């Protein structure tokens, strides 16, 4: 390193080799404000200098707050826009599914109507067939029952005396 130069604290913005920042940057915000107000009071042409400085600081602060609010509002609008876009996509998807379901419902309704008519005709035919067949089967069953009953009656009459004789003869042989 070279020879060190003396630091002039009154020269603002001048950098020294030992310092990486200007002298004013070393002070906190309150100290800077007091220094600027004292400087403005010392100027005779600006009797309201400190008040103007306070107004300027207040204006800058409100402008920064306003800018921050605008930034937040823009971010919120972007988020809302993204949300609306996603919701719109969801609605579009559901509308497409609803359209497909309507088409399927229409097809199945037509099919059910056609099948219902066919089933009704088939049911009528089955009823007619079963009705005539059922009546026919009832007459056949009645004739069979009467025929079998008459056969047993005749056999009972014809075989009753001979059966009694044979049964008594068998009884006598087995148990006497």
CA distance linking residue 82 with residue 68, whole number of Å: 21
CA distance linking residue 16 with residue 9, whole number of Å: 10
In 16-48, alpha helices (H): 29-42
Query: Are the C-beta atoms of 35 and 29 separated by less than 8 Å?
Result: no
Domain residue ranges in the chain: 48-175
Which tens digit of pLDDT belongs to each residue from 52-91?
Answer: 667 677 778 888 888 899 999 999 999 999 999 999 999 9
CA distance linking residue 43 with residue 56, whole number of Å: 17
Contacting residues for 52 by C-beta, under 8 A, at least 6 apart: 40, 46
Q: Is this structure's pTM higher than 0.85?
A: no
Which tens digit of pLDDT belongs to each residue from 146-171?
Answer: 999 999 888 887 778 877 888 888 88
């Amino acid at each position: 390193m070279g020879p060190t130069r003396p630091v002039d604290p009154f020269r603002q913005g001048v950098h020294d080799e030992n310092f990486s920042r200007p002298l004013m940057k070393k002070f906190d915000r309150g100290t800077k404000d007091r220094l600027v107000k004292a400087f403005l009071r010392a100027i005779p042409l600006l009797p309201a200098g400190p008040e103007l400085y306070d107004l300027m600081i207040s204006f800058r602060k409100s402008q920064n707050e306003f800018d921050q609010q605008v930034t937040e509002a823009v971010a919120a609008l972007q988020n809302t826009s993204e949300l609306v876009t996603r919701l719109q996509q969801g609605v579009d998807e559901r509308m497409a599914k609803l359209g497909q379901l309507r088409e399927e419902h229409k097809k199945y309704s037509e099919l059910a109507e056609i099948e219902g008519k066919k089933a009704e005709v088939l049911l009528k035919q089955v009823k007619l067939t079963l009705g005539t067949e059922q009546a026919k089967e009832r007459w056949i069953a009645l004739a069979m029952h009467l025929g079998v009953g008459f056969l047993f009656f005749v056999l009972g009459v014809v075989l009753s005396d001979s059966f009694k004789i044979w049964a008594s003869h068998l009884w006598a042989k087995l148990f006497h």
